[in-house]
Amino acid sequence: MTKNSNRNKSKLAVKLASYGTAKIYKAGQVKLDANLLSTLDIRPGDRVEIFLDTEERVIVIKSIE
């Protein structure tokens, strides 16, 4: 192996990662893990888009840049 051989390796992209579980509060609010928001560069006050996939029973939160 040469010094430059690591440059040719492709990087693994994580598409799905678990950040544990969250509780649904009476008002319908969900508290998200701070590390999750930080990973997506979402800060308090930022606007996000929310999508609902009823077939997969999934809620998707997308950062608006």
Task: Say what the pLDDT of residue 9 is.
Answer: 57
Task: Say what the pLDDT of residue 65 is.
Answer: 75
What is the fold of 14-63?
Answer: Pemi-like Protein 1; Chain: D (2.10.260)
Every domain of the chain and the residues it spans: 14-63
Q: Mind listing the pLDDT tens digit for each residue in 4-63?
A: 555 555 656 777 888 888 899 999 999 998 988 988 889 999 999 999 999 999 999 998
Please write down the long-range contacts of 9-13, taking CB distance under 8 Å and 24 or more positions apart.
none
